[in-house]
Amino acid sequence: MVPVRRTRALADMAKATVLWIAVGALVVGAIVGAIGERLRLRAAIQFAPILEFCRVGAFSGYVQGQKQYGTPEAYEQALKDLLHDLEDRNRSSSDLFPHDMRLFDEALAYARLSEVQALRGATQDSAQSLHSAEALCPAVKWKNCSGDKILEFVRRLDAQLDAKVGGSDANHGR
Judge whether 55 lies within some domain: yes
Judge whether 83 lies within some domain: yes
Judge whether 80 lies within some domain: yes
The tally of CA atoms less than 13 A away on the side-chain side of residue 20 is 5
> Is 81:55 a contact under the CB 8 Å cutoff?
no
Domains: count for the chain = 1
Domain span including residue 138: 16-165
Check residue 161 and give its pLDDT. 80
User: Whole-angstrom Cα distance, residue 75 to residue 69?
Assistant: 9
Check residue 174 and give its pLDDT. 44
Judge whether 34 lies within some domain: yes
Distance of CA 75 to the CA centre of its chain: 19
Judge whether 26 lies within some domain: yes
Cα→Cα distances 20→34, 49, 171, Å: 21, 45, 73
Judge whether 123 lies within some domain: yes
Judge whether 1 lies within some domain: no
Instruction: List Cβ neighbours of 170 (8 Å cut-off, separation of 6 or more).
Output: 68, 69, 70, 71
DSSP state of 109: H
pLDDT in tens, the chain (174 residues): 555 555 555 455 566 665 667 777 777 777 767 666 666 656 555 666 666 667 777 778 888 888 888 889 999 999 998 888 888 777 776 666 777 788 888 899 999 999 999 999 998 999 999 999 988 888 888 888 888 999 999 999 888 887 777 655 544 544
Residue 156 CB neighbour total at 10 angstroms: 10
- pTM, two decimals, is 0.65
User: What is the 3-state secondary structure of 126-160?
Assistant: HHHHHHHHHHCHHHHCCCCCCHHHHHHHHHHHHHH
